[in-house]
A and B are shown apart, each in its own frame.
Chain A
Amino acid sequence: MAMQVKKTLLRRALEYKPILKSEKLNVWYGRVHALKDVDVIIPSKRITAIMGPSGCGKSTLLKAFNRLLEVEGARVEGKVYFHDVDIYSDSVDPYTIRRKIGMVFQKPIPLPMSIYDNVAYGLRVNGVKDKRLLDEVVRENLEKVGLWDEVKDRLRDSAFNLSGGQQQRLCIARALAVEPEVILLDEPTSSLDPASTKRIEELLKRLSGDYTIVIVTHNVHQAMRLAERVVFIFEGRIVEQGDAEEIFKNPRSILTKAYIKGDFS
Chain B
Amino acid sequence: MRGEGLIKTFTFLCAGSSILVVFLIFGYTLSEGLPVLMKYGLSFLTGLHWKPYADPPQFGLLPTIIGTLSVSGLAISIAAPIGILAAIYLAEYSGGGFFKNLIEPATQLLVSIPSVVLGFIGLVFLVPTLAKIFGGWGFSILAGGIVLAAMTLPHIICISSDAIRAVPREYRYASLALGASKWQTVRRVVLPAARSGILASIILGLGNAIGETMAVLMVIGNPEVPYIPTSIFDRVRVLTSTIVIEFNYAVWGSDQMRALFAIGVILFIITAAVNLLAFHILGGRIHAKEI
Chain A positions near chain B (C-beta within 8 angstroms): 66, 68, 71, 73, 95-96, 98-99, 102-103, 105, 107, 109, 111-113, 121-122, 124-126, 171, 174-175, 178
Contact = CB atoms under 8 A, between A and B. Distances in A.
23 contacts: A66-B177, A68-B173, A68-B176, A71-B172, A95-B180, A96-B179, A98-B176, A99-B178, A102-B178, A103-B173, A109-B173, A111-B174, A111-B175, A112-B189, A112-B193, A113-B192, A121-B188, A122-B179, A122-B180, A125-B178, A125-B184, A175-B177, A178-B179
Interface string B153-180: 0000000000000000011111111111
B188 A98 contact: no
Given A111-B171, A125-B180, 11 more contacts: A71-B172, A103-B177, A109-B171, A109-B173, A109-B174, A121-B175, A122-B180, A124-B188, A125-B178, A125-B181, A171-B174
Nearest to A110: B174
Interface string B183-203: 010001100110000000000
Given A98-B179, A175-B178, A178-B178, A125 B170 contact: no
Interface centre among B172, B175, B177, B181 (most CB of A within 10 A): B177
A164 to B, nearest CB: 14
Contacts of A122: 178-180
Contacts of B175: 111, 121, 125
A98 B182 CA distance: 12
Contact of A95 (B173, B179, B193): B179
B179 A107 contact: no
B42 to A, nearest CB: 43
Contacts of B180: 95, 121-122, 125
A125 B179 contact: yes
A105 B193 CA distance: 19
* Interface size classification for chain B: 10 to 19
A112 B179 contact: no
Contacts of B171: 109, 111-112
Tell me if B's interface is mostly helix, strand, loop or mixed: helix
Contacts of A178: 178-179
A161 to B, nearest CB: 17
B186 to A, nearest CB: 12
Contacts of B178: 98-99, 102, 121-122, 125, 174-175, 178
A71 B181 CA distance: 11
Contacts of B174: 105, 109, 111, 171
Nearest to B172: A71
Nearest to B184: A125
Contact of B179 (A73, A111, A126): A126
A95 B189 contact: no
A175 B177 CA distance: 8
Contacts of A95: 179-181
A105 B192 contact: no
Contacts of A96: 179
Nearest to A174: B178
B189 A111 contact: yes
B188 to A, nearest CB: 7
A86 to B, nearest CB: 19
Contacts of A68: 173, 176-177
Nearest to A177: B178
A109 B171 CA distance: 7
B172 to A, nearest CB: 7
B7 to A, nearest CB: 44
Contacts of B176: 68, 71, 98
Q: What are the 7 tightest A-B residue pairs by CB atom distance, in nearest-first order?
A: A99-B179, A122-B178, A103-B177, A125-B180, A109-B174, A98-B179, A109-B170
Interface centre among A68, A107, A109, A174 (most CB of B within 10 A): A109
